[in-house]
Structures are given as structure tokens and as C-alpha cells.
Amino acid sequence: MKKRLTRNLGLKILSLLMAFLVWVVILNVDDPVTTDSFYDIPVTKINENALAQKDKVYDVISGDTVDVKVKGKRSIIESLKESDFQAVADLSELSIVNAVPIDVTIPKYGDSVEIIKENYTMQVSLENLETKQFRIDVVTTGDVSEGYYIKEKTASPNIIQVSGAESVINKIKDVVVEVNVGSARESFKKTGVVPKVYDKNGTLMDSGKMKLSYEAVDVSVDLLKTKTVNLFIDLKGTPYPGYKYGKPDFEPRQVVIAGEQSELDKVQYIMGEYNIDNQRTDIEDEVNIADFIKNDVILIDENKTAVINVKVEKLKSIDISYNSNEIEFRNLPVGLAAVLNETNAIQVEVMGEEDILSNINKYNLKPYIDLADTEIGTKLFNLEFSPPDSGLTISNTSVRVTITEAAG
């Protein structure tokens, strides 16, 4: 038996070697070694806090993705997918020229696949880290139902911190949240609204280049009912002596207000006043309508002011002369005597409507001087009148009177 096993031993060994070589050849023919390239493999960045600790932020200039060439059995190479690759840039290894080596591996296949090495590098730019606070503005889209008005729209929280590269943060103008109010008929609250950042040109900025202290906020929208009411404006005061005014003309005649229904029910109209004291020229002015609102409602009309026009005209006038003996002394205290120290005629201007003036003369005006509580001496007294019609305006006239003790 032993002789049989050892007979032609060399030939048998040679046969085994030949069989192995044939097997290897067959394997290489069926599953040969090949190479292939895979493109745009995303690079994962780690240890970013190494830069944050130095108050620096980075921006990738190149190397955000890599193209990888591999070598291996065709069966393996053909089964490879992008997700099988792992490309990592460790930012803690940033060089003085702001370059980071990229380590590429294929964990699933280990040494079965050879990565044909190239110089995989990520190039970054560095900037100072900047943090600023911004108010969150609420922007509404759509229109509330007719007869309703947005009283207030608020974000909670309403202040947000934005951090990022100094050049990026300095471009920020507004941080807003958008909420749709289309057809709303009552106040409401919406949660989880994502803030948006806009630059000074009104362009939406890339949120990936900054960090917000809140990823989402809550938005409250308060609605009020509206009502249209009439506006009235009355004149108060007295124009300059000798002048009169006509009926005021103003616009608008109606305005829109908003408030709770219970408050709106209390407002049937809005009444305002305009002071014309001492005016002697035509009036064209604007008044703040909100100043006339007394109830707990607000003015939402597009007209915030009312334009008022008042015609102011000079009254007709006549001049009347009086001698000193035509002036009556009234209320002269007992034991005293009075003398009017005027040698010339006393001129009086009487102003009023023409139809009233036509009935006025020196006798029905009844000029007098009121000497009540007077004392001895020479003083100036205002000349007073008892006009038959209160529609008259009489010029102020002063006369000198000497008061003495009456003769025994």
C-alpha cells in the first residue's frame, strides 16, 4: 500500500500544482482584478469644536466631496455603492495653510478593496466667530376674513441670537417668521415656526452657514372685529375780534375702527373738535383722528388724519362817536363823584353781520362805565355797552376817569 502511495510521487505533486494553477487561472478569468472610480463621495467633517474653541468658523473652499479610485475583484468592485465609502476630514488637524487631510476607507470590505491613494485634501477659509441679537418679526401671508383686523402678531421668544462668520452675520438685516392668516376669523397660535434670515437686499440667506439660538418659535396672532362709523368735527373757541367763521368742511366723513365687540357696540360715531381761537385767516389743516377716539378701540382706517377747511371772514363794521356827556356812570359808590377826562370825541368800532349793523346807532348801544368798588384817583376804565344784539363785536375802548369825594 505504501509503495502504491509513493509510486510516481513527483508526478503526483506536479499534477497537484498544475491543478492549482488551473484553478487560479479559472478564478482570474471568471472574477478578475479590476479598477473603477467613484465620484462626489461626501466628506464628513469631525472635531469642528476645535475651531469653535478658538472663536473661529470655517467655510469649505474645496474638498467637500472626493473622487476615489479603487482596485479589487470585479465582483466586489461592481457591488460597491457610494454609501460604502467613508471620507472623513478631522478639523483638529488643520494646517497653517488651512488644509485638512481627508481619510478615505471602505469599512465593509476592509483589505479586499485597495484604495489607490491620492492626496485627498480639504481646503477651508477661516473667519472670526460673530454673534448678534435680532428681533424676530412676524410676517403674515394671506388675508383675514372680511370684518376682521390683525391687532398684534408676536413671536415667542421674540429675540434670537445668530452666530456665524463675521462676514455672514454683518449681512443680516431681518430675522422673520411667516404665518398664513388666510380666512382667519379668530385669534390663534402656531407652534414650531422656523425663523428665516434675510440680508440687506431682501435675499433669503443660507441657514447652513449660521447657527440660530432657536430652531423654531411660537407665533400668536390676535384678531379684532371692525366697524365703520361716521366722523364729525365741530369748531370751538372764538375767532379774532371782528371776524367770523363758516361751517367747517372736512374729509373723510367715515372711518374704520377695530376692537372687541363689546367696545365697538359703544361707538356709534366719532366726534372731534377744532380750536379756532383768535384765527383771522382761512384755515386749511390736518388733525389726528385717533385723538378723537375715547373708547377702547383703535383706528385702522387708511386715513389717519382728517383734512379740515374753515372759511374765516372779516365782519362788516361801522364807526360811532360819543361825547363825554353821552357816557353813563354806573355803580358809583356813595360819597364819590366821577369826571370823564376826555375832551375829544370817543370813537368806537362796531362789527357784525350787515343786517344787524343796519339797526345799530349810537343811542341803542348805551355806552357806560362800571365804577363798582372804585377808589379816589384817576384811572383807566373800559367802556362797556348794552347792545341790543349779542351778534355784535365792539372794539375795546379805554377812557380816563377821575374819582373824587362828592361835594358836601
CA dist 195 and 217 (Å) reads 7
Same domain, 205 and 157: yes
Give a yes or no: residue 126 inside a domain: no
User: What is the rounded radius of gyration, in angstroms, for the C-alpha atoms of the chain?
Assistant: 50
DSSP state of 97: T
Residue 23 has pLDDT above 60, yes or no: no
Q: Which residue has the cell 384817583?
A: 377
Same domain, 352 and 363: yes
CA dist 58 and 99 (Å) reads 11
CA dist 153 and 136 (Å) reads 11
Across 20-29, 199-208, 372-381, least confident range: 20-29
CA dist 135 and 351 (Å) reads 63
Q: Which residue, 216, 226, 151, 238, is CA-closest to 188?
A: 151
* Residue 343 confidence (pLDDT): 84
**Most confident region among 51-55, 69-73, 244-248, 350-354 by mean pLDDT:** 69-73
Looking at 288, 314, 340, which one is the last position of a domain? Answer: 314
Q: Which residue has the cell 479590476?
A: 34
Beta pairing, strands 86-90 & 33-46 = parallel
DSSP state of 406: P
Residue 5 has pLDDT above 60, yes or no: no
**Mean pLDDT of all residues in 394-407:** 90
Query: Among residues of the chain, what percentage have pLDDT more than 90?
Result: 71
* Residue 395 confidence (pLDDT): 86
Asked whether the beta carbons of 123 and 99 are under 8 A apart, the reply is yes
CA dist 218 and 224 (Å) reads 20
Same domain, 238 and 295: yes
Looking at 196, 224, 252, which one is the last position of a domain? Answer: 224
Across the chain, mean pLDDT equals: 90
**Mean pLDDT of all residues in 27-37:** 78
Residues comprising the chain, all counted: 408
CA dist 101 and 131 (Å) reads 29
**Mean pLDDT of all residues in 218-238:** 95
Give a yes or no: residue 124 inside a domain: no
**Mean pLDDT of all residues in 272-289:** 94
Give a yes or no: residue 289 inside a domain: yes
* Residue 144 confidence (pLDDT): 94
**Order of strands across the sheet that contains 346-352:** 316-322, 346-352, 393-394
* Residue 358 confidence (pLDDT): 87
Residue 18 has pLDDT above 90, yes or no: no
Across 144-148, 204-208, 270-274, 393-397, least confident range: 393-397
CA dist 229 and 260 (Å) reads 15
Same domain, 109 and 143: no
* Residue 254 confidence (pLDDT): 97
pLDDT band at residue 266 using 50, 70 and 90 as cut-offs: very high
Same domain, 292 and 349: no
Residue 6 has pLDDT above 60, yes or no: no
Same domain, 215 and 146: yes
Same domain, 263 and 300: yes
Give a yes or no: residue 125 inside a domain: no
* Residue 294 confidence (pLDDT): 86
**Mean pLDDT of all residues in 164-176:** 95
* Residue 28 confidence (pLDDT): 54
Looking at 63, 88, 119, which one is the last position of a domain? Answer: 119
Same domain, 12 and 38: no
* Residue 10 confidence (pLDDT): 64
* Residue 20 confidence (pLDDT): 61
**Mean pLDDT of all residues in 351-361:** 87
Query: Among residues of the chain, what percentage have pLDDT more than 70?
Result: 92
* Residue 15 confidence (pLDDT): 65
* Residue 27 backbone dihedrals phi, psi, to 5 degrees: -60, -45
More confident residue, 86 or 20: 86
Asked whether the beta carbons of 140 and 148 are under 8 A apart, the reply is no
* Residue 367 confidence (pLDDT): 93
Question: C-alpha 61: how far from its chain's center?
Answer: 38
Across 160-169, 267-276, 399-408, least confident range: 399-408
Same domain, 220 and 235: no
* Contacting residues for 118 by C-beta, under 8 A, at least 6 apart: 69
Give a yes or no: residue 81 inside a domain: yes
User: Which residue range(s) make up the domain with 394?
Assistant: 316-405
Residue 363 has pLDDT above 70, yes or no: yes
Asked whether the beta carbons of 266 and 227 are under 8 A apart, the reply is no
Number of domains the chain is built from: 5
Same domain, 310 and 321: no
Q: pLDDT tens digit string along 366-399?
A: 999 999 989 999 999 999 998 876 778 888 899 9
Residue 191 has pLDDT above 90, yes or no: yes
* Residue 387 confidence (pLDDT): 81
Residue 96 belongs to domain with CATH number? 2.170.120.30
Same domain, 349 and 369: yes
Give a yes or no: residue 291 inside a domain: yes
For the record, the C-alpha cell of 309 comes out as 377747511
Q: Which residue, 169, 167, 168, is CA-closest to 133?
A: 169
Same domain, 154 and 202: yes
Residue 163 belongs to domain with CATH number? 2.170.120.40
